[in-house]
């Protein structure tokens, strides 16, 4: 069973912030099973080994290329060809927090039982947003 996951590296996020890509950088990927997902995260991307799993979900019938193509319609990828530090790693996204906030506010507005409150975005919210848009 395929698993779609979102991972984050503190060191890569600091680097992305330094080069003007913002402080919200996440890696989205699809693995064959949980064991291969954990192995990929442990191996790391972009020369960093401090990657941590933020959120994962089962995703049958979805390939990594399809998921990345769907998500690219909403969010910007960090081009591995332009930044040699990434060493060819695909699926690293620069996430706009405003888009995530808008999505969370729309979900609140559509739910009649939930009161409208100010939204504070957390990494799990960003990961859920990425997975939702990659599967849609």
Mention every residue, 6+ apart, whose C-beta is less than 8 A from residue 14.
Answer: 23
Q: Let me know: does 11 contact 50? Beta carbons within 8 Å.
A: yes
Beta bridge partners of 29: 5
pLDDT tens digits for range 2-30: 999 999 999 999 999 999 998 999 999 99
How many residues comprise the chain? 136
pTM for the complete prediction?
Answer: 0.90
In b/e form, how buried is each residue of 67-100, taking b as 16+ CB within 10 angstroms? bbeebeebbeebebeebeebeebbbbbbbeeeeb
pLDDT tens digits for range 49-104: 899 999 999 988 899 999 999 999 999 999 988 988 888 889 999 999 999 999 99
Q: Let me know: does 4 contact 41? Beta carbons within 8 Å.
A: no
The token pair that represents 61 in the structure block: 């019938």
What single DSSP character describes residue 134?
H
């Amino acid at each position: 069973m395929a698993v779609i996951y979102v991972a984050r590296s503190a060191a890569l996020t600091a680097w992305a912030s330094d080069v003007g890509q913002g402080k919200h950088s996440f890696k989205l990927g699809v693995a064959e099973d949980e064991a291969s997902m954990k192995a990929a995260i442990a191996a790391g991307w972009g020369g960093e080994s401090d990657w941590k799993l933020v959120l994962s979900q089962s995703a049958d019938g979805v390939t990594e290329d399809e998921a990345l193509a769907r998500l690219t319609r909403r969010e910007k990828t960090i081009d591995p060809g332009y930044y040699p530090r990434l060493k060819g790693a695909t699926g690293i996204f620069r996430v706009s927090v405003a888009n995530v906030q808008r999505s969370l506010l729309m979900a609140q507005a559509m739910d009649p039982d939930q009161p409208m409150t100010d939204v504070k975005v957390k990494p799990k919210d960003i990961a859920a947003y990425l997975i939702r848009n990659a599967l849609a």
